Structure 1
């Protein structure tokens, strides 16, 4: 290609997509926009070798480093996508497992120019609602402790809580890693030695619900997450099934998280044949 043709191609090429640096970093899953602004103000972020400033814009051709390490930003797909999945017991929440065990990511549809980010975790023996999104900022808003997003669980216990125990759980009990408490706890039936309870908690420390019951000498024999923030697990979504939220529901989740809706898109989602729309709170 000659110089004239090259200059003409550069002059007529479409402008590369760009966005504010703090938003791009948040979308990459590094933290909230506010945290990214703090990092930028502290001089931790470099763009093309120069210290960035708040409000700087970046595009696909820019080299961005945070604390000396390069960060690869995604610009190909601006749409926020949300997928819900009914995790089974025996699956782990990781992309790669050295032991070759089944992971929740094995069941997710492949993406181009983006990746699924897990919103929180469920341990190996816990089943229920998992949420995945392509937006790092949304994932951070749903997971960060300061947002106090509710998680609701159905808990089957070998034994029974007394009214005094429930009062203590609501007031808070001391665990090995600090105080923990339930926002609500009520009986939901059961037979024989097993009792079911519905509980709501506003944080996601490791095995926290199980440890709260173990504090009173009660063993949790089944733990199912049935709601995370505004999204509830549809009763018809069986274990191992997944479905993608449609535009209307994505917009409602973004509004709930106080984020601007992403560009609308037409989609039929990826519902399994027995699934229905998730319930919104």
Structure 2
């Protein structure tokens, strides 16, 4: 069965659908020796080349897609390379034997938390497309008083420079003194939208963490700068959540989850509870949260819990 070229190449993991559309418009994709056109119907048996290199579409399509969760650190750029030499999230990802990682959504440089990467560009497109209305959940630490009227305003709608925006929900999640944590949920991914919504009501965001994207939550044990590959059960749930069918190929449904670290690309420490880490403010802290950390049930991201 023939499919549109940008959809088929995205599904094979050559890039996101938007990237592939740009390559086609630039004349970088050839089909049977002729420049490809947007929306052209093809199948895997066609002779396809990308920037002069023949691509093996059938092999790519036969491979089982991969998805990883990555715990982004504040200070990392969501780009493949940075002209200023700043660290990027792609530098910390496990290497692939074939295909490449497609990032699902973005986080600004000062935000940490959950990022998803996949080898299936069509899945990435579904997860990011506004029509899918995939929930994103954030833990937000704010400085200053927040009244019930202000929360109602955030849930009703605030006028930003690029149009009206709002949170689906705003839930208090603890804190002491001037700093308080909230969990917020929205269904779109405009640039710095969470920060801009709070700034619109004159509240300063001092820390922002994405804890859920769709049906995938950031596990407590997944340390900053580390990645974890989703198992078959989680993959199937993720695909179904955006109306796609997951073909598990030769994967064993009971295969244990693989964790990787940027230092070795191998198994992460067996028990995170035994270790201590440095938080983004440079203090040394144990696994137990501080008094200012989010402590409610909604603030505790779990591997298979609620989403953002």
Bin for the TM-score computed over the shorter chain: 0.7 to 0.9
Matched, 1:130 2:130: no
Matched, 1:116 2:141: no
Is residue 195–residue 205 contact of structure 2 (8 Å, CA) maintained in 1? yes
Matched, 1:24 2:12: no
Cα 1:100–1:172 shift into 2, 3 Å: same
The equivalent of 2:212 in structure 1 is: 227
Distance 2:130 2:53 in 1: 27
The equivalent of 2:190 in structure 1 is: 205
**Deviation of residue 214 (structure 1)?**
0.5
The equivalent of 2:31 in structure 1 is: 47
Q: TM-score, normalised by structure 1?
A: 0.80
Cα 1:236–1:261 shift into 2, 3 Å: same
**Deviation of residue 91 (structure 1)?**
0.8
* SS of aligned partner of 1:58: coil
Distance 1:201 1:210 in 2: 12
Distance 2:247 2:144 in 1: 47
Cα 1:100–1:50 shift into 2, 3 Å: closer
Instruction: Report the number of matched residues.
Output: 254
Query: Which structure 2 residues correspond to residues 63-212 of structure 1 after superposition, within 5 A?
Result: 63=49, 74-77=57-60, 78-212=63-197
Listed one character per residue, the Cα deviations across residues 127-181 of structure 1 (whole Å, up to 9, x for unaligned) are 0001000000110111111111110000000012211111111111100111100
Distance 1:169 1:191 in 2: 22
The equivalent of 2:47 in structure 1 is: 61
The equivalent of 2:232 in structure 1 is: 247
* SS of aligned partner of 2:239: helix
**Deviation of residue 242 (structure 1)?**
1.2
Distance 1:100 1:30 in 2: 24
Listed one character per residue, the Cα deviations across residues 87-139 of structure 1 (whole Å, up to 9, x for unaligned) are 11111111111211111111111112200111001111100001000000110
Distance 1:125 1:50 in 2: 41
Distance 1:21 1:197 in 2: 43
Distance 1:166 1:50 in 2: 53
**Deviation of residue 279 (structure 1)?**
1.3
Is residue 20–residue 58 contact of structure 1 (8 Å, CA) maintained in 2? no
Listed one character per residue, the Cα deviations across residues 233-265 of structure 1 (whole Å, up to 9, x for unaligned) are 011112112110111211111111211112331
Distance 1:278 1:74 in 2: 33
Is residue 245–residue 277 contact of structure 1 (8 Å, CA) maintained in 2? no
Q: Return 5+ residue gaps in structure 1 as ranges.
A: 1-17, 40-44
* SS of aligned partner of 2:91: helix
The equivalent of 1:6 in structure 2 is: none
The equivalent of 1:278 in structure 2 is: 303
Distance 1:207 1:194 in 2: 20
**Deviation of residue 61 (structure 1)?**
3.0
Distance 1:178 1:241 in 2: 36
Distance 2:172 2:98 in 1: 46
Q: Return 5+ residue gaps in structure 2 as ranges.
A: 260-267, 273-300
Distance 1:93 1:184 in 2: 26
**Deviation of residue 63 (structure 1)?**
4.0
The equivalent of 1:10 in structure 2 is: none
Distance 2:56 2:138 in 1: 35
Cα 1:92–1:73 shift into 2, 3 Å: farther
